[in-house]
Structure 1
Amino acid sequence: MKVVFALITAVAAFTAYYVYSPVPSTVSEPWKLMLVDATLRCAQDLSDLAHYFGLGHRLRILHFMTTLDKNDPVSSGNLKVTDTVFDGVEVRVFEPTSEPHGELKRSIVFVHGGGWVLASARARSYGSLCQKVSEDVNAVVVSIEYRFVPDVHFPTQLNDVLTATKYFLRPEVLQKYSVDPDRIAISGDSAGGNMAAAACQQLTEDPNQTIKLKLQALIYPVLQILDFNTPSYQQNTDMLIVPRLRMIKYWLDYLNVSLAFAYSMQVNNHTSLDSGETVALRERLNWNTLLPVSFKKNYKPVVQSIGNPSLVQKFPALLDTRVSPLIAPKETLQLLPKTYILTCEHDILRDDGIMYVKRLQEAGIDVTHDHYDDGFHGCVIFATWPTYSSVGARARDGYIKWLKENL
């Protein structure tokens, strides 16, 4: 009996140690956040262990473990859900059935997040979000199932998004789904927000694209790879869900670059002053001028005089605006549609979104910025059981409200 009690005590202590992580007091429902983060860390640890023992690539195993909630399309009385293929790219389409026959609908092309390796358009979490958006906005939602790291790397994922979106924007396809060509938005969260922003820039500048997007809506988007020491990166270095080092590793995997460069990226060696190519671009994300004082707080810029400029030669994608939409020239930004950006206080990516708000406003674009002081990265998809988060539900509903009013 004593052995059993000792074993139970040891397991309980280990579980508490694994689950508990210090979080700011202002985070919404911290224990729920800790449990979600512990689940994600457990999946990552198990995938690393399986990789070590030669059972498969760590990222394939991680993707499998984080998409166990995939399901077949489930239609209801008011919504038709189908899986199909747009020009070789898999998509899940949500179509409201309540509109009178022949009435043209609004539409949203949605790109899910997950660090270019996690989640799925077919996952329960994203399915629930897209279903609610489709029903509440009364819009056709096209959720893109782009391919994942490590099977493909940049720019393949972005090209999947562009291919599926361009196919959907064909007049005959819009007619098939009864979509109004003047009322189409592109949207995405996190890494999906990165690709949605990059795709919107590409489509806007494409002279052959006759049907243009009316809106873009970005949910805590990843927008740049040049500065991993913005105030939000410094403030939330070890924040749950996506700490800084994990984000850097997502980037390196996406760009197919060795993880050995992670430390150099972490201290901004890749954008040091002796790297002339990046110095000019850094001005486009100078947070001393782009961030309000309330977000800069007392943090100082981290700029290395001598770093590792060879990184730019080893992966030139560092300078690619398709990787970092935030550094696009003003001439590109001036062409973009009305924009919505959602940011959360407890998120390393907070300042990416806020800087993009400022750059778009300076380019003359109409921008709505919703910020959640008690929010954290990923909260919008934690708005349903069993991971229900009150701030997630508020953020999701604010996003949907903006779409209803502007699309």
Structure 2
Amino acid sequence: MKLSLVVVTVLLTVGVAYYIYTPIPAAIEEPFKLMLMDALIRAVLQVDNLCQSLGMRPLNPSFSGASSEPGTLDKMAGGHGVGVRVSDVDFDGVPVRVYEPPVTGGGEGGLRRAVVFYHGGGWTFGSTKKGGYDIFCRQMSDELNAVVVSVEYRLAPAVHFPVQYEDCLRATKHFLEPGVLERLSVDPQRVAVSGDSAGGNLAAAVAQEISADDTGVRFSVQALIYPVLQGLDFHTPSYIQNQNIPILHRYLMARFWLLYMGVDPSLSPLLLSPAFLHNPSIPPSVRSRINWTTLLPPKHIKHHKLASKDTGSHVATKPEVEFLPGLLDVRSSPLLAEQGVLGRTPRALIITCEYDVLRDDGLMYGRRLQDAGVKVTNVHYDDGFHGCCFAQWPFSFDVGKRIVSEYIDWLQENL
């Protein structure tokens, strides 16, 4: 009996260790913490897949490690955001959380800055109302003396593109109405749009749309934190280099894109095929806008080469790629926008991390914005990885704190 118990214990220990362990680059600090966080996310997503396969309601994990109780949030935010007024309201039918700083006024005529923020989560999970995003928005409102509007857009698989984008655009247009800005004492010349990961995707897309309207209030800056900006090329140097780096594995990003498109994620091998980018339905002009051999600096290109259409599986055709029009839409893939569209967008902060499959998306977008005449601040973290910013205890990371600090400093100076 005792021997059996020992054997079971050893097997369980080995199994758990095997499940948790993932090779981590030496440049990443706190590697064991990252392994644990990655294992938790994988476990939750696997449970979520099981729930969906059984017809049960899907989960909406936040991976934040923090509750939404005010006292808990105040402690975990290190005192930031104490006194910030928080209101849950609807903007044109879209739920938003509005953060108002404790200090009234802040600029000419007593008007304040404002930031419209969209949370990340692969368009499929996450919430502005709890955990790391709530803490971050409280901190941002407090330190910038800004009104922060965080949009609770609907999520896949219940809805798919373009619903998430349309929710963000509709709520944002409502906020930018003169009467709403006046009621919240917001300076219409000092409004930013921002987001991280999938939220950065939404922020870039909404910025392009708002910038095309000469009749209304326009953003003065856009601040994108490790944004996802295209779903056609999964063979950029960063996708290859970081394909197995936590927490955003290459296969997981493909899954998120398919869920966003409303497609069965089992088709992810199509997206991951080297031949996918050479599908005849993708015009050469589109390929040129994501040609990383001309858009990335040599230090990131290294030894990597463009995927050949003769490499890997066949070039997928209809009906296999019925979702391709969605991936070609600039509302889902802002990196594909024409130069004229990019040139109308506001000056930008783009934050990228070395150990992130999305690193090259951000770097290419920064280059294309600069080529279009937009002033861009690129901040790159050699020890950064995807998702490091808004994780909270017990999964908070020093590099994430540094990123948030520099992000807020940039807005302090530029907004």
* Same fold at TM > 0.5: yes
Question: Separation in 2 of the partners of 1:194 and 1:85?
Answer: 22
Question: Separation in 2 of the partners of 1:68 and 1:91?
Answer: 22
Q: CA offset at residue 11 of structure 1?
A: 2.4
**Most deviating of 387-396 and 64-73:** 64-73
CA contact (8 A) 1:26 1:373 kept: yes
Question: Separation in 1 of the partners of 2:323 and 2:253?
Answer: 20
CA contact (8 A) 2:64 2:390 kept: no
Aligned residues, how many? 400
Map of 1:364 onto structure 2: 373
Map of 2:93 onto structure 1: 88
Residues 352-405 of structure 1, C-alpha deviation per residue, up to 9 Å, x if partnerless? Answer: 0000110011111110011001100011112x4221201111111111110111
CA contact (8 A) 2:261 2:323 kept: no
CA contact (8 A) 1:21 1:34 kept: yes
Residues 31-85 of structure 1, C-alpha deviation per residue, up to 9 Å, x if partnerless? Answer: 1110110110110122223334x2515xx22x15758956367797531111111
Distance 1:341 1:64, change over 3 A: closer
Map of 2:227 onto structure 1: 221
What amino acid does structure 1 have at the position aligned with 2:192? Answer: A
Question: Separation in 1 of the partners of 2:354 and 2:135?
Answer: 24
Q: Percent sequence identity over matched residues? A: 43
Q: Which runs of 5+ in 1 are unaligned?
A: none
What amino acid does structure 2 have at the position aligned with 1:230? Answer: T
Map of 1:204 onto structure 2: 211
SS in 2 for 1:277: coil
TM-score relative to the length of structure 1? 0.93
Question: Separation in 2 of the partners of 1:342 and 1:68?
Answer: 24
Question: Separation in 2 of the partners of 1:370 and 1:11?
Answer: 43
2:260 pairs with one of 254, 260, 264: 254
CA contact (8 A) 1:73 1:83 kept: no
Distance 1:64 1:354, change over 3 A: closer
Map of 2:56 onto structure 1: 56
What amino acid does structure 1 have at the position aligned with 2:8? Answer: L
Residues 144-173 of structure 1, C-alpha deviation per residue, up to 9 Å, x if partnerless? Answer: 000011111100000000011000001111
Map of 1:263 onto structure 2: 269
Question: Separation in 2 of the partners of 1:237 and 1:133?
Answer: 32
Say whether residues 1:117 and 2:118 are aligned partners.
no
Map of 1:401 onto structure 2: 409
Map of 2:150 onto structure 1: 143
Q: Which runs of 5+ in 2 are unaligned?
A: 75-80
Map of 1:280 onto structure 2: 285
Question: Separation in 2 of the partners of 1:245 and 1:31?
Answer: 22
Say whether residues 1:351 and 2:357 are aligned partners.
no
Question: Separation in 2 of the partners of 1:215 and 1:81?
Answer: 24
SS in 2 for 1:375: strand
**Most deviating of 12-21 and 286-295:** 12-21
CA contact (8 A) 1:70 1:120 kept: no
Distance 1:23 1:335, change over 3 A: same
Map of 1:17 onto structure 2: 18
What amino acid does structure 2 have at the position aligned with 1:12? Answer: T
Question: Separation in 2 of the partners of 1:78 and 1:68?
Answer: 22
Residues 224-272 of structure 1, C-alpha deviation per residue, up to 9 Å, x if partnerless? Answer: 0111100000101111111111100100010012334311210243321
CA contact (8 A) 2:105 2:185 kept: no
CA contact (8 A) 1:232 1:351 kept: yes
CA contact (8 A) 1:341 1:367 kept: yes
**Most deviating of 210-219 and 306-315:** 306-315
Q: CA offset at residue 195 of structure 1?
A: 0.5
Question: Separation in 2 of the partners of 1:12 and 1:367?
Answer: 49
Say whether residues 1:385 and 2:393 are aligned partners.
yes
5 Å-filtered alignment, 1:101-180, equals 103-180=110-187
1:290 pairs with one of 290, 295, 301: 295
CA contact (8 A) 1:226 1:268 kept: no
SS in 1 for 2:382: strand
CA contact (8 A) 1:191 1:222 kept: yes
Residues 208-231 of structure 1, C-alpha deviation per residue, up to 9 Å, x if partnerless? Answer: 4x1110000000000001111000
Say whether residues 1:44 and 2:45 are aligned partners.
yes
CA contact (8 A) 1:72 1:122 kept: no
CA contact (8 A) 2:65 2:395 kept: no
